[in-house]
Amino acid sequence: MTTTAIPPSRRRAARSPETPAPSSERRARGRAARAETPRSDHAEWAPAADRRDPVDVMREEDATRVPELVPIRYGRMLVSAFTFYRGAAALMADDLAATPTSGISVQLCGDAHLSNFGVYSAPDRRLVFDLNDFDETHEGPWEWDVKRLAASLEIAARDRGFRHRERRAVVAAATRQYREAMRRFAGMRNLEVWYARLDVDDTIRQLSGTVRASDVRSVRRTTAKARRKDSMSAVAKLTQRVNGTLRIVSAPPLVVPVAELLQEDDARVVETEVRALLAGYRRSLDPDRRHLLETYRFIDMARKVVGVGSVGTRAWIVLLEGRDGDDPLMLQAKEAGASVLEPHLGPSHYRNHGERVVHGQRFMQAASDIFLGWQRVTGIDGEVRDFYVRQLWDGKGSAVIEAMDPERLSIYGQLCGWTLARAHARSGDRVAIAGYLGSGTTFDTAIADFSETYADQNEGDYRALQAAVADGRIAAEAGL
């Protein structure tokens, strides 16, 4: 059984073979991997005897975060066992490192829970459904992403109060969709796989007539909201005009303009640093996109709290102006630290973690933000930090998991399963993975078993955080 991390040389060879083997050999390699790691072994989960205290694992991450924002992170994680799971990627990375793998590597998302999928506008302005968070991306065993997704569905279903058989059906359907999609991708030409994507309008048409009309209407409402969520709506929500010039509105502690965040001299230094970040970041863009960015000028900036697991990492929103005051652009510069997978899979071969995030995103997404890039800066405290930059909002929308019934969550989980298979098929040996998975339901059943057991573990870890807050070991600020 394969349970150890894949050496870097093997990871690179698995993703980008210099001389691809014939499909028959690759399929045989996948099938042969079943002998070493039977598919039923993926059902296994038991905490290691020396498993670290989950609270200690999370507190280790606090060391590199903005101290005054850390209580907000814990406040958001305390909302439910599901929000706890969203913020506990490092904890699950430790746990996955001891689980069986087939030995086949892909570009991992690293945090493929169901809330890290959603819709956004592709460069051709069509809405697509895809993965949308890559802070933890790294090369590694494809099973880790599948287990992260499947367990998130089980945990979300518990949070919604679904019965056991309903939860199991949701998880099994998503895993089956991953398996069947991977088998279809294995039979496609390389370019067909690369161009494959879930266009939202096409998906809605396919769903019409096969699911409840109310489900289709719900999807249409979500996509209509996403279409409106662009730079103009970001400006409308986050700025106001001051003496005729747009300025970011203060809403502490979640949005704080740099002029309020620091003393005047320090604020000027940080603003200079961010201007330098933007200037250097331009070099990571293709020439045409660099030219487009250079047609905008800097107006204002603020620190913004984002996500659940990301709270406390440094994130800046930057307001730019194009032709005139009616041509705004909002960018987000987000700190990129080491992936939570690195202790188990080895360091990234990218020297800049922002670059790691960007290239991981481009490997896995069917279409990426035209302003996606990276840069490294030295902060006012003398610390060197990596950042990646993208548009703040660009038709971005996410499903409201809290409003889903079993049928809707099943449909959503299957969309996620297909999307994850497509992402892995782009970077890994899709033929070998398909050969390993096979046509039966053995793998689906094993992952459903794993998800149920791991959800129990997650609930225990969630209670540990609650206890740590109750006894004062950890400070949490709720409602933000």
476 located within any domain = no
Of 391, 412, 443, the position where a domain reaches its end is: 391
Angle, nearest 10°, between helix axes 89-96 and 54-62? 120
Confidence check: pLDDT of 285 > 70 = yes
DSSP 428: S
Give the whole-number percent of the chain exceeding pLDDT 70. Answer: 93
95 and 236 housed in the same domain: no
Residues 52 and 127 placed together within one structural domain of the fold = yes
Residue 57 phi, psi dihedral angles, 5° rounding: -60, -45
> Considering 391, 415, 438, which residue would you say is the last residue of a domain?
391
Same domain flag for 272 and 359: yes
For 174-222, write each residue's pLDDT tens digit.
999 999 999 999 999 999 999 999 998 887 777 666 667 776 677 777 7
Question: How many Cβ atoms sit within 10 Å of the Cβ of residue 386?
Answer: 21
Range of the domain at 262: 230-391
Evaluate whether 385 touches 47 at the Cβ level (below 8 Å): no
Q: Quick one: 205 and 257 in the same domain?
A: no
E strand spans, 5-91: none
Check pLDDT > 80 for residue 18: no
Domain membership of residue 51 (yes or no) is: yes
378 backbone dihedrals φ, ψ, rounded to 5°: -100, 120
Residues 214 and 336 in one domain: no
Please check whether residues 217 and 243 belong to one and the same domain.
no
Read off the pLDDT of residues 292-320 as tens digits, 9 standing for 90 and up: 999 999 999 999 999 898 999 999 999 99
Q: Model pTM?
A: 0.92
Q: Are residues 237 and 290 in the same domain?
A: yes
Mean pLDDT computed over every residue of the chain: 90
Calculate mean pLDDT across residues 350-366: 96
Residue 310 CA to residue 445 CA, distance in Å, equals 32
DSSP per-residue codes, 81-126: HHHHHHH-HHHHHHHHTTS-B-S-EEEE-S---GGGEEEEE-TTS-
Residue 3 lies in a domain: no
For the chain, counts of helices (H) and of strands (E): 20, 13
| Segment 449-475, tens digit of pLDDT | 999 999 999 999 999 999 999 999 999
396, part of any domain:
no
Our count of domains for the chain comes to 2
For 345, how many CA atoms within 13 A lie in the half-sphere containing its CB? 28
DSSP state letters, 422-469? HHHHHHS-HHHHHHHH-SSSHHHHHHHHHHHHHHHHHHHHHHHHHHHH
- The pLDDT assigned to 15 comes to 45
Q: Are residues 237 and 341 in the same domain?
A: yes
Q: Last residue of some domain: 391, 410, 426? A: 391
